[in-house]
Amino acid sequence: MKDLNKIEQEVIKSLDKSLKEGDVLEIKNYYLGRKSGVITYLLKSIKDLSDGDKKKFAPQIQSLKEKTEKMIENKLKELSMSDISFKDLTLPNKKIRHGSLHPLTIVERKIVDIFTAMNFSVVDGPEIESEWYNFDALNIPEFHPAREMWDTFWIKKDYKKKDSKKRENFLMRTHTSPVQVRFMEKHKPPFQIIAPGRVFRYEATDASHEVNFHQIEGLMIGESISMANFKYIVENFLKKFFGDDITFRMRPSYFPFTEPSVEIDIKLPNSDKWLEVMGAGMVHRNVLKSAGLNHEEWQGFAFGLGVERFAMLYYGIPDIRLFYAGDLRFNRQF
């Protein structure tokens, strides 16, 4: 009965080779089949053994049977787990769509995040603005030729603002710069803020002009905040936004509310065209005065940028009107 060991080795070998459930069932039948299974036959022949042999071999045969059963069972389990042919995991899945933020929201957030990381606060201001905050307080008196730089939507003259006693002329703010004055009136420097928001221009719509669009205003005031500090902040900002491989330049300009005034141009890699992206300058002493600050005590810079302009450059969008058309074939691209 040395063969018991041999049989066990045979079972192990043949189970190892079998790849399909059918192979295993065949093996099971060969050894454990009720009629002519090899091990079944051994079990049946125990009764014909001598008492001494019975004592010796019966437990061994019994154990071989149990071992073989266990091995076959395990092999079947193993095969059923690895056998995936009957479950197709490549069928089309359930459609789960995340909605899209508007590209202007995405770009505005990207800009705001860069500035908040530099300790700038984020503030808001009204869209219907008084003539004072939009123009006069910013050193743009009536009949100043510079007013022509901002084509304005005016609110009908008989309107007044709720909870305000003053009779004023109201307009749709033409820029976010009024927020500068509003903030400086209520906060003592030093501070640095940005103010994102919607602005309005009375002008014909075309691929690069819209009646409403978005700006982000920036303002940093302290005892010795200089033009060189502005250059540091703006360089950091532009490189974080557009990438380290852009070049940028400042160019003399004119805004009534800054002195000196500059315009910022950038050049994208692989392009030789300068693109105007921002206006900026050192806050004019008359603006500080409008907000009740002494220009001999405080100084600093302000800047403004167009969110649409940034988004158009960032994504390569050719027409500003796409932002407001509400065509989801556009909005869902971002």
Q: Which of positions 143-182 make contact with other proteins (CB under 8 A)?
A: 143, 145-146, 148-149, 153-163, 172
CB of 20 or CB of 332, closer to other proteins? 332
Footprint (CB under 8 A) of other proteins, residues 96-115: 96-102, 104-105, 109
Q: Which listed range, 30-38, 48-56, 65-73, 278-286, lies at the site for other proteins (CB under 8 A)?
A: 278-286
| Shortest separation between residue 215's beta carbon and other proteins, angstroms | 14
Residue 175 and residue 143: Cα distance in Å, rounded?
A: 18
CB of 302 to other proteins, least distance (A): 13
Could you tell me if 196 and 216 are in contact, meaning their C-beta atoms sit under 8 angstroms apart? yes
Number of Cβ atoms within 10 Å of the Cβ of 32: 17
Give the Cα separation of 60 and 66 in Å (integer): 10
Q: Choose the stretch contacting other proteins; rule: CB under 8 A; options: 18-26, 47-55, 69-77, 280-288.
A: 280-288
Are residues 297 and 322 in contact, defined by beta-carbon separation less than 8 angstroms? no
Q: Which residues contact 47 (CB under 8 A, 6 or more apart)?
A: none
List the one residue from 22, 59, 190, 243 that touches other proteins (CB under 8 A): 190
Q: Answer yes or no whether residue 138 interacts with other proteins by CB under 8 A.
A: no
Query: What is the smallest separation between the CB atom of 139 and other proteins, expressed in angstroms?
Result: 11
CB atoms within 10 A of CB 243: 10
CA–CA distance, 252 with 254 (Å, rounded to integer): 7
Quick one: which segment of 20-28, 60-68, 69-77, 119-127 binds other proteins (CB under 8 A)? Answer: 119-127
Q: Is 315 in the site for other proteins (CB under 8 A)?
A: no
Residue among 72 and 179 whose Cβ is closer to other proteins: 179
Name the residue among 16, 55, 60 with its Cα closest to residue 39.
60
- Binding-residue total with other proteins (CB under 8 A): 82
Q: Which of residues 3-22 bind other proteins (CB under 8 A)?
A: none
What does R_g of the chain's alpha carbons equal in angstroms? 41
Does position 261 bind other proteins by CB under 8 A? Answer: yes
Q: Going by DSSP bridges, is the β-strand pair 191-200/121-122 parallel, antiparallel, or unpaired?
A: parallel
- Is 46 a binding residue for other proteins by CB under 8 A? The answer is no
Residue 259 assigned as binding residue: yes
CA dihedral over 310, 313, 317, 320, signed as positive or negative: positive
Site for other proteins in 287-306 (CB under 8 A): 299
Q: How many C-beta neighbours within 10 Å does residue 7 have?
A: 16
Query: If DSSP codes are grouped into helix, strand and coil, which group holds residue 52?
Result: helix
Does 200 engage in binding with other proteins (CB under 8 A)? yes
Annotated binding site: 259
Annotated binding site for Mg(2+): 259
